[in-house]
Amino acid sequence: MADQRPPKKSLGQHWLYDKTVLADIVRSVDIQPNDTVLEIGPGLGTLTAELVQSAKRVIAVEFDERLAANLASRLKAANLQIISQDILSFDFTSLSAEYKLVANIPYYLTSNLIRVLSETSNPPAAAALLVQKEVAQRVAAQPGDMSILSVTAQFYWQVSLGREVPAHFFEPAPKVDSQVVILKRRPELLFTDIDPKDLFRLVKAGFAQRRKTLLNSLSGGLHLSRDEVQAICQTANIVPNRRAQTLSLDEWHTLYRALHT
């Protein structure tokens, strides 16, 4: 029976009850009996109930204090720890290595969460994020539709898309459908001959003025002359009239190398 506790619109709360969908989310990161799982935004605990049956240990981090307290009284499991905290300030190094992450998160949290997970010294081995379908497809985008979000995610993770979840599976139903994004941590950096901070300084400059060409956006964002950008693009064999969203990760790498030679 659905809990009548009203969701907070400001937190993007929508409850998911369908057991088939919940089981698919758990399977998408291949949770094993010895795994530690970090769940973000457990809400009413419908996904948490599936996780505690599959994993050795579940740490559920809930920003909403009323939901955290309610979950503690509703779901009794010896392998469950509930923490009321903002996930963006959570200490990921407190978890054992090779933990897995599952989350049903609102749109506004996605970019920041992927950035935090990517930059922590103890990232999860794999993560399943249930997000708005449009956002999921942005994370997994290919050259032509790339963004800072997709470049960041794909630099640190092997990205794939899981099942779509129509809006009517949620209560209350959101205005858009959702989809699972699956992130599997790369065993080593995609490019080992770079400084990631310098690479993303370049990427951010390229996307700073999305509608402008690389010639204009890199000139303005990196404080270089147009002639200097022309020379860098020529060295990288990249046409300077292209736009940032058309570049592949390999091309960003080549552009980085040309900039730092």
Residue 235 binned pLDDT confidence (cut-offs 50, 70, 90): very high
97-112 pLDDT tens trace: 999 999 988 878 999 9
Which percentage of the chain shows pLDDT scores above 90?
87
Average pLDDT over the chain reads 93
54-85 pLDDT tens trace: 999 999 999 999 999 999 999 999 999 999 99
What value, to the nearest 5°, has the Cα angle with vertex 90 and ends 87 and 92? 115
Q: Does domain 9-185 have CATH number 3.40.50.150?
A: yes
Q: What is the pTM of this model?
A: 0.91
Rounded Cα distance, 185 and 135, in Å: 19
Q: Where are the domains of the chain?
A: 9-185, 196-259
**CATH for 196-259?**
1.10.8.100
